[in-house]
Amino acid sequence: ACQPPAAILALEGDLLSIPLGSRHGISAGSIGVPDLNLDGLTLLEVVRIEPSRTLLRPLDPSLHAKRFAKRRVYLVKAGLRD
């Protein structure tokens, strides 16, 4: 089966970054899905895509990016836009 791109999130200011970008198939229609934990499901919005780097932030503005640092995130196409 096909696996979605995955990486470990790093805190970068108020955002999160991963070392995957447009050359890895990440697009504006992608959404980040962190590993599940006791918080339940939280989605990450793609803020900016570079060739080898993507910046994300929690869709829920009450959640701080810091709580997701060092967690694995999977990037999936949400079909919202490309």
Nearest one of 29, 62, 63 to 46, comparing CA atoms: 29
What gap in Å lies between CA 81 and CA 2, rounded to an integer? 21
CA atoms within 13 A on the CB side of 21: 12
First to last CA, the chain: 23
Give the position of tokens 């918080």: 39
Q: pLDDT by residue for the chain (82 residues), tens digit each?
A: 578 899 999 999 999 999 999 999 899 889 999 987 666 788 999 999 999 999 999 999 999 999 999 999 999 988 655 4
pTM for the model: 0.88
Count of beta carbons in the 10 Å neighbourhood of residue 82: 9
